[in-house]
């Protein structure tokens, strides 16, 4: 069955064109033209991924993003027209996994969608530990003791990437390549924002992180280090 | 040599030879006082007033003191004169009455003399005390003499030869002289008056009567008066100083408030105002100042509003243009991907559509970026950046393009290995523009990239050895949409805005972008950025004129950012769009 993609965009021409591109790459697109109906469309389509325009009539894209994120970890890719720093950061903070700046080309869009649908790491049956967390790679599950912690697939990928090589310090560029699939210099704010979101879920005290620690001037690593 | 030496570090603590000698604290006083004099209006006013009033009070005090002293002396002198006349008459009468009886013998003369002395002492009423002496006028012969006598504490030294001569010569008249009495056990150095007169003693000849009057009581009065006058003057000067200080505070206070307020307004606190109290000139100053501030705030708010409208417009245009452009882009790319199944003309059409949409997109992005700069709607987002790494990344990125053109790009980094506070996206964009230009205009010859840093700045130079530009062209290289040679074939395809944007990016850092170029020798662009955000740069670690061209006449050009004149106004609530994340494109010119 083809992956279902929910396209939330108020511009019918663009939505239709995105639909053509998606169908050509064997995706199953569903459409929603306004923010107010987006959550309902999300429930109906139960998509594998959401393409979300930030500027929507009815309900703001960032609000839609927050609503979807509140009940699901499904990958969300924002379509931003402004390239506005503040908007991108707000979008990422409200839970979007990645963003594509208009005007984008079909290959770029499809590449971003595929990266989010197909996790970058090889599926294994390993169980990793980092700090007091247990990562069940096969089950895509993180537990602290017996309590499962709900992470989005992206947050799980991020934590897994760090935890799989606990001795290694990852630069933001390395994480962008490994987790987001960017092979060129992309926006390091993607990493910064998602590390913050991840910490908010897994750390006892997000202000004094012990699971995902910052290595000043370099990047991040799992655990407090030696 | 440190200048923070404590005041007690001179003297024995000195060590390390003559050059380690430190100026004691008092040596810096003149400098400090001069500095204070220049910086403090109150100090200047108070000091001037105190000095001038001290001069005035001193003059007046001296005048009063001299006048009173003179009149005191004159008064005593008259008194002394009268007493002396009386005493001389008395003594002469005693001697004369004795003469009338009989020829005196020696014993009688002595008795007479004692009688006269007692009578004289009894007749004086001078409060300072009187000493008496009867001396024989030298140079006479007489059958009998009487002994020279003097009261026990008679100060012989005060009777000067000049006085004695005057007395001896001016027969029958009083001779007076101001003298300084020698110190005695009771105190000393007090002024006095010596009065000399002559006595004719029967059978014994002419004798001189000297009376010395002590004026110490008058002196004491004068001293007391002077002391009182001195203390009074000092108090007066201090009072004048204090009053001046108070007045200056009253007058300077509002001026200082105005100065502080204008500084705050200049610093961006546009709502600051001076309190308006009363109807005096200071209140008028405050009111006009506030009026000016109101007008300025209105103007600035208007500008800010315009800027906000502009930002809004840019944002709207961006959105409105980009959505259809995205559709066109997607459509064009879909067609482009299927061009092999089209007729040749349709396939070519798809190709043209594809490339021109790309160009349109770049142009739109650059236009939006430059309009953001013009609107002042840009923000520097610095993070620790190792410039050398950024340069190496940039050179790597252009590797394929350079190889295609045949140019070899070499990097020489003598500095720039530390983390500078730089907006990496903007520096990347600058480097892309400079490298793209160098490759496009480099004629396939080597391209040299240099990185260096000094205490305040870090700089990157990009030198090509290509066609170069004439000075007139180099002067216009930062102009928007300007092209050095419109007929040249464009390989990378730029928007004509690349260098203008780079210049704005450098200026936003507080840095600068310079160019040196010579026809046939190529061009050298140098971007210099401060090491820390908000820092200032003086020179550049890298000269814009290439080292091998030093001393030649080609004048380098320093770019003048267009938006430099636009005041950066913080507008509360205004969203500040900044550059879109660049997707590795090379906008160049």
CA distance B481 to chain A (A): 23
Q: Collect all residues from B whose CB is shorter than 8 A from any CB in A.
A: 315, 318-319, 322-331, 333-334, 337, 357, 361, 365, 379, 381, 384, 393, 397, 419, 428, 575-581, 583-584
The CATH number given to whatever domain includes residue B191 is: 3.30.450.20
> Per the domain annotation, does B126 fall within a domain?
yes
Q: What is the mean pLDDT of residues B248-255?
A: 81
Cα B154 to Cα B170: distance, rounded to the nearest angstrom: 23
Select the residue of B328, B333, B357 nearest A106 (Cβ to Cβ): B333
Q: Is residue B386 part of a domain?
A: yes
- Please, which pLDDT band fits residue A217 given cuts at 50, 70 and 90? confident
What are the pLDDT digits (tens) for A135-174? 888 778 888 888 888 888 888 888 888 888 888 888 888 8
Asked whether residue B106 is assigned to any structural domain, the reply reads yes
* CA dihedral over B82, B83, B88, B94, signed as positive or negative: positive
Is ipTM over 0.85?
Answer: no
* pLDDT(A83) > 60: no
Q: Decide if B302 is inside a domain.
A: no
Mean pLDDT within B280-299: 86
Highest mean pLDDT among A60-74, A210-224, B184-198: A60-74
Ramachandran angles phi, psi of A98, nearest 5°: -155, 170
Task: Find the helix packing angle between B344-374 and B281-337, rounded to 10°.
Answer: 170
Cα-based torsion angle of the residue sequence A217, A218, A219, A220 in order, rounded to the nearest 10 degrees: -100
* A-B contacts at Cβ under 8 angstroms: 88
B357 in any annotated domain: no
B511: left (phi over 0), alpha (psi -120 to 50) or beta: beta
Tell me, what's the pLDDT at B577?
Answer: 38
Residues from chain A that touch B422, judged by Cβ atoms under 8 A, are none
Q: Cα distance from B387 to chain A (closest Cα, Å)?
A: 13
Residue B31 forms part of a structural domain? no
**More confident of the two residues B113 and B575:** B113
**One-character DSSP codes across A36-67:** TTHHHHHHHH--SEEEEESS-SSS-HHHHHHH
pLDDT of residue B565: 39
B549 and B518 Cβ atoms separated by less than 8 Å: yes
pLDDT above 90: residue A29: yes
Q: Of B222, B247, B267, which closes a domain?
A: B222
Q: Which of A203, A99, A189, A107 is nearest to A151 (CA)?
A: A203
Length of chain A: 226
pLDDT (0 to 100) of residue A123: 61
- Residue B311 in any domain: the answer is no
Which phi and psi angles does B548 have, rounded to 5°?
Answer: -80, -5
DSSP B263-277: HHHHTT-TT------
Say which residues have a Cβ less than 8 Å from residue A31's Cβ, sequence separation at least 6. Answer: A6, A7, A8, A9, A15, A19, A41
Angle A180-A185-A190 from CA coordinates, rounded to 5°:
45
Domain end call among B222, B255, B286: B222
Inspect the interface and report whether the beta carbons of B393 and A185 lie closer than 8 Å. yes
Q: Work out the average pLDDT over B356-381.
A: 82
Segment B440-465 mean pLDDT: 89
pLDDT at B493: 58
Domain with B399 in it: what CATH number?
Answer: 3.30.565.10
Domain around B473: 378-565
Nearest-CA distance A186 → chain B (Å): 7
- C-beta atoms of A83 and B580 within 8 A: yes
Distances B314 to A22, B34, B366, B565 between C-alpha atoms, Å = 31, 56, 12, 20
pLDDT over 50 at B6, yes or no: no
Measured between beta carbons, the chain B residues lying within 8 angstroms of A85 are 379, 381, 576-578
Q: What is the pLDDT of residues B518-531, one digit of tens each?
A: 888 888 999 999 98
Residue B583 and residue A101: Cβ atoms within 8 Å? yes
Q: How many Cα neighbours within 13 Å face the side chain of B447? A: 31
Q: CB under 8 Å to B200, separation ≥6 — which residues?
A: B92, B95, B96, B206, B207
pLDDT at B476 over 90: no
Closest CA relative to residue A126, chosen from A98, A88, A165: A165
Name every chain B residue with its beta carbon within 8 A of the beta carbon of A88. 581
- Tally of domains in chain B: 2
Q: Pick from B171, B204, B222: which residue ends a domain?
A: B222
H-helix or E-strand containing A16?
helix A12-24
**pLDDT at B17 exceeding the cut of 50:** no
Predicted confidence band of residue A5 (pLDDT cuts 50, 70, 90): very high
Rg (CA), chain B: 52
Query: Is the confidence at residue B7, as pLDDT, over 50?
Result: no
- The band of B67, judged by pLDDT with boundaries at 50, 70 and 90, is very high
Closest Cβ opposite residue B334 in set A81, A106, A185: A106
**Tell me, what DSSP letter sits at residue B571?**
-
| Top-ranked range on mean pLDDT: pick from A23-27, B191-195, B518-522 | A23-27
CB contact under 8 A, B379 and A85: yes
For chain A, domains (ranges, CATH) are 4-117 (3.40.50.2300), 127-222 (1.10.10.10)
What pLDDT was estimated at residue B563? 54
- Interchain proximity A106–B330, CB inside 8 Å: yes
d(CA B99, CA B392) in angstroms, rounded, equals 136
Which chain A residues touch B579 with a CB distance below 8 Å?
Answer: 83
Question: Does residue B508 lie within any of the structural domains?
Answer: yes
> A58 or B500: whose pLDDT is higher?
B500
| Residue B185 confidence class, pLDDT cut points 50, 70, 90 | low
The most confident of A39-43, B218-222, B487-491, by mean pLDDT: A39-43
CA B346, B349, B351, B357 dihedral sign is negative
Q: Which pairs from B337-344 meet CB under 8 Å and 24+ separation? A: B337/A106
Token pair for A92: 């990422």
Q: Are A119 and A185 in contact (CB under 8 A)?
A: no
Q: What is the pLDDT, as a whole number, of residue B55?
A: 93
- Predicted TM-score (pTM) of the model is 0.54
> How far, in Å, CA of B329 to CA of B583, rounded?
16
């Amino acid at each position: 069955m083809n992956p279902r993609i929910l396209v939330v965009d108020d511009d019918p021409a663009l939505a239709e064109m995105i639909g053509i591109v998606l169908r050509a790459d064997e995706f199953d697109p569903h459409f929603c033209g306004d923010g107010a109906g987006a959550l309902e469309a999300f429930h109906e389509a139960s998509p594998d991924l959401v393409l979300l325009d930030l500027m929507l009539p009815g309900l703001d894209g960032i609000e839609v993003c927050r609503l979807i994120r509140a009940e699901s970890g499904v990958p969300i890719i924002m379509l931003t027209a402004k390239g506005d720093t503040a908007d991108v950061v707000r979008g990422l903070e409200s839970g979007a996994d990645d963003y594509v700046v208009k005007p984008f080309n079909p290959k770029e869009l499809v590449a971003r969608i595929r990266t989010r649908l197909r996790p970058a790491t090889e599926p294994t049956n390993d169980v990793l530990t980092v700090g007091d967390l247990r990562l069940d790679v096969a089950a895509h599950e993180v537990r602290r003791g017996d309590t499962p912690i709900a992470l989005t697939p992206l947050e799980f990928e991020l934590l897994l990437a760090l935890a799989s090589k606990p001795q290694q310090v990852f630069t933001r560029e390395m994480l962008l390549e490994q987790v987001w699939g960017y092979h060129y210099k992309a926006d390091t704010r993607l990493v910064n924002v998602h590390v913050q979101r991840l910490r908010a879920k897994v750390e006892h005290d997000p202000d004094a992180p012990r699971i995902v620690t910052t290595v000043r001037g370099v990047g991040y690593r799992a655990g407090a280090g030696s | 040599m440190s200048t923070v030496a404590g005041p007690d570090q001179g003297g024995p603590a000195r060590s390390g030879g003559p050059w380690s000698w430190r100026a004691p604290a008092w040596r810096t006083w003149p400098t400090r006082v001069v500095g204070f004099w220049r910086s403090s209006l109150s100090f200047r006013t108070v000091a001037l007033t105190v000095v001038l009033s001290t001069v005035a009070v001193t003059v007046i005090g001296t005048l009063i003191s001299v006048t009173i002293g003179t009149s005191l002396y004159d008064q005593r002198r008259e008194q002394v004169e009268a007493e002396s006349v009386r005493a001389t008459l008395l003594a002469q009468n005693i001697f004369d009455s004795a003469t009338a009886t009989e020829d005196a013998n020696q014993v009688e003369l002595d008795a007479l003399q004692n009688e006269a002395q007692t009578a004289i002492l009894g007749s004086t009423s001078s409060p300072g005390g009187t000493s008496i002496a009867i001396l024989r006028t030298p140079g006479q012969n007489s059958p009998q003499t009487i002994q020279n006598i003097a009261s026990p504490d008679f100060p012989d030294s005060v009777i000067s030869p000049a006085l004695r001569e005057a007395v001896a010569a001016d027969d029958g008249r009083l001779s007076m002289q101001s003298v300084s009495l020698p110190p005695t056990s009771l105190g000393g150095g007090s002024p006095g008056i010596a009065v000399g007169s002559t006595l004719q003693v029967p059978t014994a000849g002419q004798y001189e009567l000297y009376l010395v009057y002590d004026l110490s009581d008058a002196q004491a009065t004068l001293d007391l008066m002077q002391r009182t006058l001195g203390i009074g003057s000092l108090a007066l000067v201090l009072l004048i100083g204090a009053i001046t200080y108070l007045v200056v505070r009253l007058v300077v206070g509002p001026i200082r408030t105005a100065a502080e307020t204008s500084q705050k307004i200049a610093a961006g606190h546009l709502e600051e105002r001076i309190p308006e109290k009363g109807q005096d000139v200071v209140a008028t100053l405050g009111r006009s100042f506030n009026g000016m501030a109101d007008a300025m705030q209105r103007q600035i708010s208007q500008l800010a509003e315009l800027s906000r409208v502009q930002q809004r417009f840019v944002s709207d245009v961006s959105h409105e243009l980009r959505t259809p452009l995205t559709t066109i882009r997607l459509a064009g790319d879909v067609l482009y991907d299927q061009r092999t199944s089209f007729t040749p003309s349709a396939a070519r059409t798809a190709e043209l559509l594809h490339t021109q949409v790309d160009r349109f997109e770049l142009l739109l992005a650059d236009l939006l970026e430059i309009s953001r700069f013009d609107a002042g709607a840009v923000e520097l987002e610095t993070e620790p950046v190792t410039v050398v790494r950024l340069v190496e990344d940039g050179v790597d990125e252009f590797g394929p393009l350079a190889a295609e053109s045949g140019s070899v790009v070499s990097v020489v980094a003598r500095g720039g290995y530390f983390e500078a506070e730089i907006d990496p996206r903007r520096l990347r964009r600058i480097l892309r523009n400079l490298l793209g230009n160098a490759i496009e205009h480099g004629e396939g010859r080597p391209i040299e990239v240099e990185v260096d840093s000094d205490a305040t700045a870090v700089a990157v130079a990009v030198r090509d050895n290509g066609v170069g530009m004439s000075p007139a062209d180099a002067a216009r290289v930062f102009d928007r949409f300007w092209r050095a040679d419109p007929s040249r074939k464009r390989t990378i395809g730029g928007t004509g805005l690349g260098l203008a944007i780079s210049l704005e990016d450098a200026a936003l850092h507080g840095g600068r972008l310079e160019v040196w170029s010579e026809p046939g020798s190529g061009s050298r662009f140098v971007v210099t950025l401060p090491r820390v955000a908000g820092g200032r740069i003086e020179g550049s670690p890298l000269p814009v004129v290439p080292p091998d061209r030093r001393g030649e006449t080609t004048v380098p050009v320093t770019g003048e950012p267009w938006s430099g004149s636009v005041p950066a106004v913080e507008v509360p609530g205004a969203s500040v769009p900044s550059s879109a994340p660049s997707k590795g494109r090379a906008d160049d010119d």
